[in-house]
């Protein structure tokens, strides 16, 4: 559990990365944005690396928590798919700056541990989606010979593209509304 100050550091870090990019994410800029000294930041986190790891861990915990609730639901596959889309788009709509961290894996490319954390997040999402698509296949909602791994990749790609477009246009449209349109179209395309 993070302390109140650690939570403030995390939230400010995400906002700083969103505003200034990873190059602008320095302990100096962070301390200035919070209004505390650089040594005060180091009392809570050993390094920028630890701050970034904590951000990714928090997002992974959020996904895992949703996945745990999700796996016990007695819903048809397309209802679960709609809920998954809705959950992901709501998470980004509630915290738009998070997009800059979660979808910027290139900032982690030189940090093996951070790259691993990003890959774990992608893997969790992919496996949850594959599970839903396998359920859809069993329920006869999609073709029985459909390659669920390829379908999952296509769906995740559309989610990623929409979220990146939303960010690049300075959040100029309602992400949840546009996400629902993609979800509805995806389900129509999947139906046999």
Listed in order, the ranges of the chain carrying CATH 1.10.10.60 are: 1-45
The predicted pLDDT at position 185 comes to: 94
CATH number of this structure's domain 1-45: 1.10.10.60
The predicted pLDDT at position 131 comes to: 93
Contacts of 9 (CB under 8 A, 6+ apart): 30, 34, 41, 44, 45, 51
Contacts of 88 (CB under 8 A, 6+ apart): 125, 159, 179
Contacts of 21 (CB under 8 A, 6+ apart): 100
CATH number of this structure's domain 53-190: 1.10.357.10
Residue 108, pLDDT above cutoff 90 = no
Model pLDDT for residues 15-73, shown as the tens digit of each residue: 898 888 778 889 999 999 999 999 999 999 999 889 989 988 988 888 888 888 877 88
Region class of 174: left (phi > 0), else alpha (psi between -120 and 50), else beta: beta
Question: In angstroms, rounded to a whole number, what is the distance separating the alpha carbons of residues 113 and 94?
Answer: 27
% of the chain residues with pLDDT over 70: 96
């Amino acid at each position: 559990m993070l302390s109140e100050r650690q939570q403030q550091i995390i939230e400010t870090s995400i906002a700083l990365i969103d505003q200034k990019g990873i190059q602008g994410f320095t302990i100096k800029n962070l301390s200035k944005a919070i209004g505390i000294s650089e040594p005060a930041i180091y009392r809570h986190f050993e390094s920028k690396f630890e701050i970034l790891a904590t951000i990714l861990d928090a997002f992974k915990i959020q996904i895992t928590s949703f996945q745990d609730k999700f796996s016990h639901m007695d819903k048809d596959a397309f209802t679960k798919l709609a809920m998954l889309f809705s959950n992901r788009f709501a998470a980004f709509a509630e915290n738009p700056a998070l997009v800059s961290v979660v979808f910027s894996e290139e900032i982690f490319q030189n940090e093996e541990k951070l790259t691993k954390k990003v890959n774990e997040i992608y893997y969790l999402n992919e496996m949850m989606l594959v599970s839903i698509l396998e359920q859809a296949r069993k329920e006869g909602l999609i073709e029985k010979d459909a390659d669920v791994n390829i379908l999952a990749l296509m769906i995740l790609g559309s989610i990623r593209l929409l979220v990146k477009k939303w960010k690049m246009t300075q959040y100029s449209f309602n992400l949840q509304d546009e996400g629902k349109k993609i979800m509805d179209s995806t389900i129509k395309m999947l139906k046999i």
